[in-house]
């Protein structure tokens, strides 16, 4: 056990087929961090689709975080699936109180890669409330537009930054010469626009991998832009080396992504 491994608190849903909290834990391990995991929901799904969601009780989520914060020197927080507004409110309170001052990476998930909803209708507003004070939020283009209630990306970026997140990494804002383009907006300006080869097919847990990798880099003390660049490189390698053990979406290979 590497005693210097930074502790990253990962808060999200359990997916038996490997996205969500399992992807977070694998990413943290690959990047030499210790993941401390709090499950917000049990999902019933495989790589073909999602069948059911059982949200955790908000007070159980809160109590688990409190006990972990008492015990471990937390260095960063990553939030994935939040199924309902009562859990969002518990996280809001923790962000403003016990866990204030830590870097927070929030991946505002609305749907699983299979297209099924991962959050209740009350979470459009729930996510918006959670963005205030977040170090970086990582919506994809569709999530950014849906959360802001607009069809225009510039308006969505301005709206979500106005909610109070320090930075916004919008993934897959479009194609440039067949490449996938992500943009990091910091104080309204796109500061890092990165284009990467787009691999064909669907990947299960690629967004979780990216957000967790950024959280690990922040936990190690990297400045925001460096953490985002490094996180993107890691997630990109995991997708490039993905395997397809199930019958539908491929699974990013986080262990293999640890190698340059």
CB of 207 to ligand PLP, least distance (A): 3
- Shortest Å distance, C-beta 14 to ligand PLP: 6
Cα 96 from Cα 6, distance rounded (Å): 22
Query: Between residues 5 and 18, which has the closer beta carbon with respect to ligand PLP?
Result: 18
- Who contacts 234 (Cβ-Cβ below 8 Å, separation ≥6)? 27, 30, 31, 209, 210, 213, 257
Binds ligand PLP by CB under 6 A, chosen from 103, 108, 207, 231: 207
Of these, 43, 138, 159, 171, which contacts ligand PLP (CB under 6 A)?
A: 43
**Quick check: 80 binds ligand PLP (CB under 6 A)?**
yes
Q: Which residue among 168, 205, 234, 238 contacts ligand PLP (CB under 6 A)?
A: 205
Using CB under 6 A as the binding rule, whether residue 83 contacts ligand PLP is answered as no
Q: How far is CA 145 from CA 67, 82, 141, 151, in A?
A: 36, 18, 6, 6
SS3 content of the chain, % helix, strand, coil (to 5): 40, 30, 35
CA distances (Å), origin 88, targets 105, 119, 198, 208, 230? 14, 11, 33, 18, 28
Q: Which stretch binds ligand PLP (CB under 6 A): 27-35, 200-208, 227-235, 236-244?
A: 200-208
Nearer to ligand PLP, 5 or 206 (CB): 206
Q: Give 55 or 113: the residue with its C-beta nearer to ligand PLP.
A: 113
Secondary structure letter of residue 18 according to DSSP: S
- Of residues 101 through 130, those in contact with ligand PLP by CB under 6 A are 109, 112-113, 118
Q: Which residue has the tokens 């159980």?
A: 60
Candidates 15, 84, 163, 230; binder of ligand PLP (CB under 6 A) is 15
Residue 107: partners with Cβ closer than 8 Å, 6 or more residues away? 78, 79, 80, 137, 138, 139, 207, 208, 210, 211
CA distance 128 to 180: 26
Residue 212 interacts with ligand PLP (CB under 6 A): yes or no: no
What number of chain residues touch ligand PLP (CB under 6 A)? Answer: 18
**CB 196 → ligand PLP: shortest distance, Å?**
16
Contact residues: ligand PLP, CB under 6 A = 12-13, 15, 19-20, 43, 45, 80-81, 109, 112-113, 118, 204-208
């Amino acid at each position: 056990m590497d005693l210097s491994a930074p502790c990253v608190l990962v808060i999200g849903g359990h997916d038996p087929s490997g996205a969500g909290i399992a992807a977070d834990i694998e990413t943290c391990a690959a990047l030499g961090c210790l993941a401390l995991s709090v499950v917000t929901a049990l999902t019933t799904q495989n790589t073909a689709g999602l069948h059911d969601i059982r949200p955790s009780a908000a007070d159980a989520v809160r109590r688990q975080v409190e006990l972990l914060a008492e015990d471990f020197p937390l260095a960063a927080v990553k939030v994935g699936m939040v199924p309902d507004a009562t859990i969002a409110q518990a996280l809001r309170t923790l962000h403003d109180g016990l866990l204030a001052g830590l870097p927070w990476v929030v991946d505002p998930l609305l749907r699983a890669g299979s297209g099924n909803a991962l959050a209740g209708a009350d979470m459009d507003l729930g996510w918006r409330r959670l963005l205030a004070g977040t170090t970086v939020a990582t919506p994809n283009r569709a999530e950014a537009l849906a959360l802001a209630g607009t069809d225009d990306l510039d308006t969505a970026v301005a709206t979500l930054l106005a909610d109070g997140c320090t930075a916004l990494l919008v993934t897959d804002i479009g194609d440039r010469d067949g490449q996938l383009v992500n943009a990091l907006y910091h104080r309204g300006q796109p500061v890092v626009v990165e284009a990467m080869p787009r691999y064909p097919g669907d990947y299960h847990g690629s967004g979780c991998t990216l957000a967790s990798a950024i959280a690990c880099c922040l936990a190690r003390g990297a400045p925001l832009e460096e953490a985002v660049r490094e996180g993107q490189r890691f997630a990109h390698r995991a997708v490039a080396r993905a395997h397809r053990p199930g019958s539908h979406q491929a699974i990013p290979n986080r262990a293999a992504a640890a190698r340059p």
